[in-house]
Amino acid sequence: MSHHDERTFVMAKPDAVQRGLIGEIIQRLEERGLKLVGAKFMQIDEELAHEHYGEHEGKPFFEGLVEFITSGPVMAMVWEGADATRQVRQMMGETDPADAQPGTIRGDLGLDLGHNVIHGSDHEDEGANEREIDLFFDDEELVDYERADAVWVY
């Protein structure tokens, strides 16, 4: 990991899994030159959902959000690259797919606010990436390696 690289937490949400979009999401991040360093296909339980979305506890959409994120398996991932958290958020697009630009993951693949196919750590919330990585992954589940195209990788 070179000095300007960072790691960020990304998840293909249950709607992406159900709709067969895991590969598409991974492909976009991979082609952009970000490096996959961890991945886990898993089911989120109630407790993990509450921890992960703790910032939204008490909001009117919270219970629905927990119900959705625990409704089926997700693909939890860690991606690495320069400014990775912000890069992924840019590639994701706005939270509501109706507002997301064409060319973004949500703009191209998302259906509605509750079914927006991807989660990425908030780049405006300092340390959110590391908190979320720790919540979902043990250190030994993250892999250090060089991509063959390392010179051009983002």
Q: Name the binding residues for ATP.
A: 13, 61, 89, 95, 106, 116
Which of ligand RTP, Mg ion, none does residue 95 bind to, with CB < 5 to 8 Å depending on kind?
ligand RTP
Q: How far is the CB of 150 from ligand RTP (least distance, A)?
A: 28
User: Quick one: tokens of 69?
Assistant: 């994120």
Number of Cβ within a 10 Å radius of residue 108? 16
Closer to ligand RTP by CB, 82 or 113: give it: 113
The answer to whether 119 is a known catalytic residue is yes
Q: How far is CA 103 from CA 14, 62, 94, in A?
A: 21, 28, 12
- Restricted to residues 112-131, the positions that interact with ligand RTP (CB under 6 A) are 113-114, 116, 119-120, 122
Which of Mg ion, ligand RTP, none does residue 142 bind to, with CB < 5 to 8 Å depending on kind?
none
Q: How far apart are CA 44 and CA 75, in angstroms?
A: 10
Q: 87 φ, ψ to 5°?
A: -60, -45
